[in-house]
A and B are shown apart, each in its own frame.
Chain A
Amino acid sequence: MNGPHDLGGQHGLGPVAPEPNEPYFHGDWEKRALGVTLSCGAFGAWTIDESRHARENIPPATYLSASYYEIWIRALETLLQRHGFVSREELAAGRMLEKGAAPKRILKADMVPAVLAKGGPCDRPVEAAPHFAVGACVRTRNFNPTTHTRLPRYARGKVGVVETVQGSFVFPDDNAHGKGESPQWVYTVVFDGGEIWGEGAAPGLTVSIDAWESYLEPV
C-alpha cells in the first residue's frame, strides 16, 4: 500500500538527529512495549508480514508523529483485536472483561533465550529455478496495490541490474493477508542514482533493494 511508511526520497521530514550516548530505551514504557510486542508475536497468531501491514495502516498523520515503539503498540492493539485476544472495550477499560482467544503458545521467561536465539527464518525452498541470472537487466513493476508490498514507491518502474540471487523466501505480499507463504526467489537489484532520482541525483550513488521475483520483469 502507498502508506505513510513508504518514506524513501520524501522531503521535509526534519533533520537526521543522532543522539550522543543514546540509551537503549527512553523511558520504562519502551521496555515494556518491546517485551509485550515480542511476547504477543510468540502467540503464533500472525506473521511478521501481517504485523508490518498493521503498522502501515496507521493513519499517516499519526504514523509520522509517533515514535517507533508507539507505532508498534498501536499496531499490536489492532492485531490483538483482529485475532480475538483483546476487545476494544478491554483496551478502553484497561482490564480484562472476557476470556478471549487462546494462543498456540505463551512465552514464558525460561523460553526467552531459546526463542530469541532461534528467531524466525523465512527462507523456503521453491522448485523452479531462478528466472533471472546475476547481471540480468530487469525493470521493477509499476503497481499500486492497496495491500501489503515490499516494493517501495521510489523503486517502481525502474531499470536495474541483478547483483545477487539471494535465495527463496516467503512472499510478504501474500503472507501478510493470510494467503500462504507463496515463496519466491529474492534478488538484490542495483539501480543507478540517476535512474531513480533523475536530474540532480547524487553523483556516484547506487541504491539497491531486495526484490521478490514477481516484482521484476525482463528488459
Chain B
Amino acid sequence: MSHDHDHDDHHHHDNHFSPMEARVRALETILTEKGLIDPAAIDVIVETYETKIGPRNGARVVAKAWAEPDFADWLKRDATAAIASLGYTGRQGEHMRAVFNDGETHNLVVCTLCSCYPWSVLGLPPVWYKAPAYRSRAVIDPRGVLAKFGVTLPETQKIRVWDSTAELRYLVVPQRPEGTEGLDQEALADLVTRDAMIGTGQALAPEARS
C-alpha cells in the first residue's frame, strides 16, 4: 500500500491549499528519504479515521446509555471504563467524561485553546470545531452558536459550557427523544448525531431516521 505522489487528480477549491499541498509533500518526502516515517503507516492512520473511528462509536455509547440504566450509571461514574467496554479506547480518548443533558441543563463542549476533541468516540473533529469562530464564541455566546446549528433552547434552560483545557475529553449524552420506546440500540444509535454529542445539536426524532 504505497502512497502515490502523482495521483492528485482533484482540483483545488481554494488557492490557499496549493502551497500547503506542496509543503506537506516536501515534508513527507524528506522524512521518507530519511527513513523516519513509513508512508504506509500514514495510509493506515487515514484509513482508520475514515472507516473505523468515527461518531458511530459515540452513538453506540449513547444508545446503550439510553437503553440500559446500569450502563448509564457506569458511564456517569467512570466513562473511560464504560466506553472501553465497547472497544473504544486510545488516542484522544484516554480520559473520558460523559455529561448528560436533561430538561434543566444543556451541555456544550469546546476547546478554546486548541482543538481537544474525543477522537475515540467521535473521530476527527470537523473544521468548524477547530476554527476561531467557534472557539471564541462558544464560551461567551452559546445560544448564538447554537442558532447557527438550528438549535433553539427554551429561555429557561441553563447552558453549561465545558472548556476542554486539560486532558479530559467530554462526550455529551443528549436527551432520548420521545417515541423511541420500541427501538433497539442500533436503531437508537441512528438518532445520535455527532453534533448532538458535542452539544451543538439534539438527538433526531425517530421519524427523521432514514
Contact = CB atoms under 8 A, between A and B. Distances in A.
Contact of B165 (A116, A204, A210): A210
Nearest to A154: B139
A28 to B, nearest CB: 6
Interface residues of B, number: 88
B1 A109 contact: yes
Contacts of A197: 140
A35 B139 contact: no
Contact of B161 (A19, A106, A120, A205): A205
Interface in A150-208: 150-152, 154-155, 166-167, 169-170, 186, 188, 190, 196-197, 202-208
Contacts of A128: none
Interface of A: 5-11, 13-19, 22, 24-29, 31-36, 38-40, 43, 52, 55, 64, 67-70, 73, 76-77, 80, 85-86, 90-91, 94-96, 99-100, 103, 106-109, 111-113, 115-123, 150-152, 154-155, 166-167, 169-170, 186, 188, 190, 196-197, 202-212
B12 A27 contact: yes
Contact of B36 (A6, A13, A52, A103): A103
Contact of B157 (A64, A113, A204): A204
Contacts of A90: 30
A32 B113 contact: no
- The 9 A-B pairs at the shortest CB distance, nearest first, are namely A35-B42, A210-B166, A8-B112, A94-B26, A96-B33, A109-B40, A68-B130, A13-B132, A119-B90
Given A109-B41, A112-B45, A206-B161, A13 B133 contact: yes
A19 B167 CA distance: 27
Contacts of A118: 89-91
Given A68-B127, A69-B20, 15 more contacts: A10-B132, A18-B128, A19-B127, A39-B38, A40-B31, A68-B130, A80-B27, A112-B48, A123-B95, A166-B168, A196-B139, A197-B140, A202-B142, A204-B159, A208-B160
